[in-house]
Chains A and B, each alone.
Chain A
Amino acid sequence: MKPWHSVLLVMGREFRARKRGFLIVSFVLVSLAVGGIVIADFATASHGRARISGSEADQLLGALSVILLFLAILVTGQVIMEGVAEEKRSRVVEVVLGTMHPRHLLAGKVTAIGLLGFAEIVLAVGSLLVTADIFDVFEVPKGTALGLVTVAVWFLLGFSLYSMVYGAAGALVAPHENVTNAALPINIVLLIPYVVAVSSVQAGDNVLLRVLSLVPLTAPLSMPLRMVRGFAAPWEIAASIALVIVTIYGLTRFAGRLYAGAVMQGGKVRWVQAWRSAGDMR
């Protein structure tokens, strides 16, 4: 049996365990999207279709991209943390780790939750666009396709960057403890580029946004805005993505080791402690 087989089995279990929640959330998201459009259609029935174009459309797209990415990375991150903490809390993790390396357990969990999160974004955005098209409520702005691709790519990058860190943080939590506290430092790191990006939507490109878009940890929420608005030079995009990928590699190894060192320990674990005891594992 190969390691990827274990990863697939873990993913399969995650899918089965989360099927119900996924269906409920999807139903809510799609209802909101479709309902919103239908209501908008009634409200604007006499005015004909709304047209958004030019810089207004770019601003709207930019803002929506950042908000969508922020929520997607944040929410999937919390789900991962809670999943990891639950496995530690129920102590099932020791039985599972008798059959596979911690790295593979975390990888399977993270991939499954990431795919479900991605599917939910696609469903929500897709149903929104399709309904808008059917009811002809607004003309889909020109840059939408590019915006969607940008969001998809940066979700993938941002999620890969943060998911393992959220996973490691979940393993540090004591059984009785809420995961919210442990998530706080990571959420704050995410919040910085979010706030800067959202406040730059109208102001346009600026030095701070530019710097953040090149720093790997803040790039996933600042570079997409610059790309959608057309602020980013090609070399900046390339450099930003390259730096993020290098960081993903390093951070995945770092977080994987923290996870391995922390998940088998009973109580609350400090970062340093987890790092040291990880040298302990096979």
Chain B
Amino acid sequence: MLVLEGLHKRYGDVVALDACSFGVGPGQMVGFLGPNGAGKTTAMRSVFGLVGLDAGVITWNGRPLDRGAWLGFGYMPEERGLYPRMRVLEQVTYFGRLHGMSRSDAGTAAGRLLEAFGLADRAQIRLQDLSHGNQQRVQLAVALVHEPKVLVLDEPFSGLDPVAAEMMAAILRDQAAGGAAVLFSSHQLDVVEHLCEDVVIINEGRVVLSGRVDALRAASPHRYVDVLLDGGGTDWAEAVEGAEIVMRSGDRVRLMVDRDSDPAELVARARKAGEIVEFAFLPPRLSEVFREAVTR
């Protein structure tokens, strides 16, 4: 279990981490979410000793981190980077060896990963000659080559199209299923809410929410109602007592209501205004849970 406990870090007047604490267990895939500047990158860098903390400890299986522990971790930094002129296979092998693998083990593992990522025919090409997407895959291969027990990825989904993002998520789920503790960050809360089960949400250096995505959404005191009427407009919604209009455009309206509201009653009100094309009664999205948590 990777545990971050009471992390504090200031850069001058800027507080990056303020008593930030959470943990990731083996086999768990945790989304580390929060807006830009919330302290995600600082926390992830501190896992690798790349940031000197003002206070706090990070432990792996109860022991403070040392070189031996780091070698068993895999890291994909926010600012991606590899040796531009190094050949792909050589590059992945090199990073395997930096993590303590023998030359032959690293070579075999690198070859297998490149095969799995569809890069087998690019193995002898220099990194700079690959497309952006393929460079990203090599970056991921570098983080995975030594079969890490802990995998830390900073914004792995940024810049990926939905298909590539789903592929990335599948790879991370595989890693977790294989027993690795997987921690990845994202500032796009709605993009990742269906990609992982557990989340830690951070704001201004503090953990504001953590737990199962479904539980967090269900625990909200609010429900959201999406209604699309066939030519009925949205004025009907103004008359619903206890409801707050979150969004309206054309015939579509999104309402925030109390958790105990009766959907059937809302359906009835909407039907009076026009024919229902769409109706949904849902717990808040992760971004809405977050907004509720920080504005509370």
Contact = CB atoms under 8 A, between A and B. Distances in A.
Interface of A: 1, 3, 5-6, 9, 13, 16-17, 90-100, 264, 266, 279-282
A53 to B, nearest CB: 50
A281 B45 CA distance: 10
B80 A91 contact: yes
B50 A17 contact: no
B60 interface: no
A112 to B, nearest CB: 14
Contacts of A280: 51-52
A277 to B, nearest CB: 8
B250 interface: no
Contact of A90 (B51, B71, B84, B95): B84
Nearest to B54: A280
A98 B94 contact: no
A95 B82 contact: yes
B36 to A, nearest CB: 15
A82 to B, nearest CB: 13
Contacts of B100: 1, 5
Given A99-B99, A281-B50, A282-B52, A94 B79 contact: yes
B128 to A, nearest CB: 9
A5 B100 CA distance: 9
Contacts of B82: 90, 92, 95
Contact of B81 (A6, A95, A100, A279): A95
Contacts of A100: 67, 98
B81 A9 contact: no
Interface in B120-155: 142
Nearest to A6: B98
A282 B148 CA distance: 21
Contacts of A1: 67-68, 71, 100
Contacts of B81: 90-95
A3 B100 CA distance: 11
Interface string B74-86: 0111011111111
B49 A282 contact: yes
Given A90-B82, A90-B84, A91-B81, A97 B50 contact: yes
17 contacts: A1-B100, A9-B97, A13-B83, A13-B86, A90-B81, A94-B45, A94-B50, A95-B95, A96-B98, A98-B48, A99-B71, A99-B95, A100-B67, A280-B52, A281-B51, A281-B52, A282-B52
A95 B75 contact: yes
Contacts of A9: 94, 97-98
B30 to A, nearest CB: 19
Contacts of B68: 1
A92 B50 contact: no
Contacts of B51: 280-281
A86 to B, nearest CB: 8
Interface string B90-127: 10001101111000000000000000000000000000
A219 B56 CA distance: 47
Contacts of B80: 91
